[in-house]
Amino acid sequence: MNWFGMAVHNVPNASDFYNKILGFSFEENEALGEWRYFQTRGMVFEMFQAHPNRIAVSAWGIGQAYRPVISVHDLSATVALLKDQGIPFSHTTSELGAEIEIAGPEGIRWSLIENLEIDTDWAHPVIWGIELKAANLIAQKNFYTHILGMTIDHETDQTILLKQQNAEARVLIQSGGTSIETRLVGEKPAFYYPIWISYETDNIKGMNAWLQEQHVKILHSITYHNDWFGTDIIIADTDGNAIQVVQYGKAVDE
């Protein structure tokens, strides 16, 4: 897992929030349509124009299964910054410790945690990883470990912290989510979801065969993309959340 995408109905408005209010730096190329590439660390964050019928977000775990996590050096200083900017937030706790949740445009939620070992740089924020609210905790645990190859770092009866080899980004699965009806219509099914995540492979053909052998739900079959020079498959986890599996820089034979 190295990347997450966000689908919003109003890209300029949302990018103003992350750029002008929070301070994230970004690149854009309108030749590719409504799109932003933010200069984050830890995980790549890209924003896209959502499908008109994108799933509505009510909360993290209700319409939004994945919640990106930003690491900050000083949580108290971050609270002061949010107050100065007039950004609503709430306090919570998890296996990660004390957290703050904020809601960006269109109600999409983020979590912020304290990490004294990093320097806060809002132009290039550190994305710790992803929190996932699961309707079926055990099924999701099996999916992310058996299908996607993550390993268990820590586990309780309500939460599972997953890590991956040679990568910093992690996934914290928590119980209490809702499942989503998978959507197969269109060439870009991930754009029906507010947040989706991506796993990189160096053998997309082999991964495609493996996913089919394991009877994983395929939202969009293996496809080469000339505009960004990569081959991907869009799949769904056991709760119906969209995931990209991708190999960069190599086409495949149809």
Distance from C-alpha of 174 to C-alpha of 159, rounded to nearest angstrom: 4
- pLDDT tens, 126-184? 999 999 999 999 999 999 999 999 999 999 999 999 999 877 899 999 999 999 887 66
pLDDT of 228 above 90:
no
Domain 201-248 has CATH 3.30.720.110: yes
- pLDDT tens, 121-131? 999 999 999 99
pLDDT at 32: 58
pLDDT at 167: 75
In the chain, which residues fall in CATH 3.10.180.10? 3-175
Rounded to two decimals, what is the model's pTM? Answer: 0.94
In the chain, which residues fall in CATH 3.30.720.110? 201-248
Superfamily of domain 3-175: 2,3-Dihydroxybiphenyl 1,2-Dioxygenase, domain 1 (3.10.180.10)
pLDDT at 183: 66
